[in-house]
Amino acid sequence: MTQGSSLPPLKNNESKYGIVALLLLLVAGAIWFFAKSCESSPEAEPVEVKPEVVTREQFAPEIEIPEEDAGLSDSAESAPDARPTQGQTPPSEWICNGSLTAAELSAVIRGQPSKQVQACYERGLKDDNMLQGTMKLLLTIGASGGVKAVEVSGSLKDPQVYGCVRRVAKTWKFPKPRDGCVRTEVPFQMTPKL
């Protein structure tokens, strides 16, 4: 017997069972500890991050596209050109001897008008995402610089886009031509952006 121990001596077989019992006791204690720690500290609730909402004023389009005239369809708009009243010559038959330089025409077309034509085309893409082709505008620019007549043709062949372009083109302002009105052709290549 060992002097400092109050426990009875263990036999060889009993020591194996004692070690197994001690290990089981340790495992049970560890399981209890982890179970207790999970219960006592409530799981942190995930914080929902709300995106910052920026309130802004009502959307005002950068590019203004005039709406169709009330009660007139595209065919009704072009009807006066097809059947001029007595004594009135259709714009396609006007004799225009005025002049504007290519730079003057280009400076206007590359600004807001180009964006307006693109906006008309993008509206058409919403209905047909494969819409593409060429579009040619024949503009008759009056002596004051305003567009007096617009004819649209080309391989695009979309009546809604053509009508929209006709409406916006009538709002364009060019420099005053020298010596009267000017007739000019403006080509556009319309393809969807990838």
Domains of the chain, each with CATH number or no CATH: 96-190 (3.30.2420)
**What pLDDT, in 10s, does the model give residues 41-98?**
555 555 555 545 444 443 334 555 556 543 344 443 443 344 444 455 666 566 888 8
Of 138, 170, 146, residue with least CA distance to 66: 170
Q: Are 136 and 153 in contact (CB under 8 A)?
A: yes
Residues 152-159, mean pLDDT to the nearest whole number = 92
